[in-house]
Chain A
Amino acid sequence: MKKRTALLTTFLLLLALLLVACGGGGEEPAANEGSTTTTEETTNEEATNEEATNEETTTEETGEADCASEEVFCVGLVTDVGEIDDKSFNQSAWEGVKRAEAELGAKIDFIETKDAKDYATNIGLFADNGYDVIVTVGFALGEATAEAAAAHPDIFFIGVDQFQAWPFDDDASNDLPNLAGLIFPEDKAGFLAGALAGMMTESNTIAAVLGTDLVPPVVAFKEGYEAGARFVNPDINIISTYHPGGLDVAFTDPEWGASTAKQAIDQGADVVFGAGGKTGNGAIIEVANHEGVYCIGVDTDQWETVPEAHPCLISSAMKLITPGVFDLISAAKDGNFPAGNFVGEVGLAPFHDFDSVIPQEVKDRLNEIDTGLRDGSIETGYNPGG
């Protein structure tokens, strides 16, 4: 017995150590701003065996009661597989929802999807709890979102990066007046980034470290980037690569991103475009450690989200997801929801500390290209689905 007591003590000690080691890091990891905490359940002693019916009433009191009522405007967001704080598109969309909380008084909440098969379940959680607007982030949720929109005609759905095909067919029965796909011409943002890179390079070699071509926006960024660089600098040498792995790792492999960025720099690249979630972040953080090499971020103004990259970040190829999501939410609230495809803004992020480094003629040229892209006199040459 003594030996076993010793065993147990050792084990508990180990466990305590582990807890202490990690405990300091955590402050309610998925702190849902909008969620209300359930109260007073402690009266039930056998909490783990609690009857589901019992619990249902609790939720109804806290979560459902207000969202189901007419006066309370509730906005829910379902992320793609990945985290709300991904410093990229999930986060930007969430910022838009948070703006709706601040400016429209909306009650907000989010669910992080862990398994792609849960898209419908997670959307359903918001729909069943009487949310008025549901934002789903990422092209992969497109199918689940459209199905939910058909099943819940009284709820507005905003699908970020979800191209809607139904506005283009003649069959009115396919129409979903409560669904808007917020899409972006990423190729144009990439084009601007490529033009910037093409004008800033001295070695005449620029690089792109990308997520995977399974994700259409990434392909658009790449094609735009290369076209933009060639537009200003026809003889430029562009080295770009996709992550060799599957969807589950392509955006969460910063080590590969960093190593690949270095491999590009070692062979002379002096501007690196990192477009691939955390993989891309790894690339631009690596670039920050090399003097005289610039990096360009993606999706949001990564000056704000990846401060480690400040030494090299001249700009980011931005999709203005936050204002796009917010505009659509307020349109839903005001009753003038633009169903179909809603094309959001793209552009280059501010130059921040590099404002003085970038010559005026480069800035002028970028403005010129931006105008050209807008009025259609310049084309990126990227044509998805075609």
Chain B
Amino acid sequence: MTMDMKQLWKRYGPLAIILLVVIVITAWRYALNPQTTTAVLASTLRQSTPLVLGALCGLLGERSGVINIGIEGQMLLAAFIGFLTSVWTGNLLLAVLAGVGVGALLGLLLAFMSVTLKMDQIIGGTVINILAFGLTGYFYQAGLTTQGKLRPIPLGALADIPLIGPVLFNNPPITYVTLLLVVIIHYVLFYTRWGLRTRAVGEHPRAADTVGINVYLVRYTNVVLGGAIAGLAGAYLTLEAVGSFERAMTNGRGFVALAVMIFGKWTPFGAWGAALLFGLATAIQTQLQFAGELAIPHQFIGMLPYVLTIVVLAGFVGRARPPAAIGQPYETE
């Protein structure tokens, strides 16, 4: 019994402390200034959305043994195609689907490179990154505009709850989908047959193969699904967050998502927590500049999210164990 407690504490202790601190500070800030607190928390959720989606993309692939450092490229090209579809058809749903489709297609390309061609997976991802950067830059045209982006949908009475309502229940659709995806992927990964197979393939493909699991199929499916989710992140950028496309607008978010995935120890909830932490730090650095009272140059405030990530990672999270068979192409015998 004490052993269990000890293990529980070891596993969730730091998390609980962080959570407690955040809750206390939030409550305190809320008592002082409800409007600002709401604004910061809502911003936290927004900033974290593309990171969570990117991290989910990464972890689906990696759980099955395929590294995906091409998240940035998948997001960028999907953002671009989603935007073009919106310009041409004026249909936002279609545009989101187009973004998701392109993401899946790039996932297919990555799976083809890493599973079928057995190319080094880091190269595969890098190819996607450069390709997406080049293609979007080359084919982007000036003067394309869309009218409108995805609008927030208040969830009835839930949206009227103070603090929680405006932060959680008055969001545009992709943000809701993201929250759902975290739960769904957690469930699928740890409580379904498919998840078991995925993890088996990621840990010990040879053994998985022996018991009749099709390693290639599992990897292909996961990487393509991951691509689709990265595509959704791209669609989020152009169709929900901004409403327009700019070259290289992902600005490294795909790489931060990668960091968020590892930070979250390859679990959906972990990634979500890590992304929220990062989003919160970003929102707070903006708020500190808004307040304008600090005499420090804004570059030092701007470092906050990155330094905080390193500190938390080094101080609380530490070593994380990735799936054992990660990065290795599988050869059937």
Asked if A and B touch directly (CB within 8 angstroms), the answer is yes
Q: Which residues of A contact B (CB under 8 A)?
A: 7, 10-11, 14, 17-18, 21-27, 29, 83-85, 87, 207, 213, 238-242, 244-245, 249, 252-260, 262-264, 266-268, 278, 281-282, 285-286, 289, 306-308
CB distance from A12 to the nearest CB of B (A): 12
Flag if A252 contacts B139 (CB, 8 Å). Answer: no
Say how far B170's CB is from chain A's closest CB, in angstroms.
11
In contact, B108 and A245 (Cβ under 8 angstroms): no
- Say whether, besides A242-B289, A254-B244, A255-B242, A18 and B105 are in contact (CB < 8 Å): yes
B246 contacts A254, C-beta separation under 8 Å: yes
| Residue pair A17, B105 in contact (C-beta under 8 Å) | yes
Q: Is the CB of B301 within 8 A of A262?
A: no
Q: SS class of chain B's interface: helix, strand, loop or mixed? A: helix
Q: A242-B289, A267-B36, A308-B145 are in contact. Are A259 and B251 (CB under 8 A)?
A: no
Instruction: List residues of chain A with CB within 8 A of the CB of B302.
Output: 244-245
Please name all residues of chain A whose beta carbon is closer than 8 Å to the beta carbon of B43 when the two chains form the complex.
259-260, 262-263, 266
B146 touches A14 (CB 8 A): no
Nearest neighbor of A23 in chain B, beta-carbon distance = B139
- Given A21-B81, A264-B39, 8 more A-B residue pairs with CB atoms under 8 Å apart are A25-B84, A239-B290, A240-B289, A244-B286, A245-B251, A254-B249, A255-B253, A268-B35
In the assembled complex, the Cα of A256 lies from the Cα of B298 at a distance in Å of 16
**B139-A7 in contact (CB<8A):** no
CB distance from B252 to the nearest CB of A (A): 7
A/B interface sample: 19 pairs, CB < 8 A: A7-B117, A18-B135, A22-B81, A87-B142, A207-B290, A241-B289, A244-B282, A252-B249, A253-B251, A254-B246, A254-B249, A257-B242, A262-B46, A263-B40, A263-B286, A266-B43, A267-B290, A289-B148, A289-B149
- List, in ascending order, chain A residues with CB within 8 A of B301's CB: 244
B46 and A308 within 8 A (CB):
no
- Known contacts A252-B247, A263-B39, A308-B147: does B289 contact A7 (CB below 8 Å)? no
Alpha-carbon distance A21/B139, docked complex (angstroms): 11
Q: Is the CB of A241 within 8 A of B242?
A: no
- Chain B contacts of A258 at CB under 8 A? 241-243
Chain A residues near B252: list those with CB within 8 A: 249
B: which residues have CB within 8 A of A? 35-36, 38-40, 42-43, 46-47, 50, 80-81, 84, 102, 105, 108-109, 112, 116-117, 135, 138-143, 145-149, 151, 166, 237, 241-244, 246-249, 251-253, 282-283, 285-287, 289-292, 298-299, 301-303
- B298 x A253 contact (CB < 8 A): no
Q: Take A83-B247, A254-B246, A260-B286 as given contacts and tell me if A27 and B141 are in contact as well, using a CB distance cutoff of 8 Å.
A: yes
Q: Please, which residues of chain A bring their CB within 8 A of the CB of B291?
A: 239
Q: What is the distance, in angstroms, from B37's C-beta to the closest C-beta of chain A?
A: 9
- CA A24 to CA B302, docked complex, whole Å: 40
Residues of A within 8 A of B299 (CB): 244
Instruction: Flag if B141 contacts A255 (CB, 8 Å).
Output: no
Is there contact, CB below 8 Å, between B147 and A85?
no
Residues from chain B with Cβ under 8 Å of A27 in the complex:
141
CB atoms of A14 and B47 under 8 A apart: no
Separation in Å of the A80 CB from the closest CB of chain B? Answer: 14
Residues in A with CB closer than 8 Å to B243 are 258, 285-286, 289, 308
Residues from chain B with a CB closer than 8 A to the CB of A87 are 142
- The answer to whether B283 and A263 have CB atoms under 8 Å apart is yes
Complex Cα distance A23/B244, Å? 19
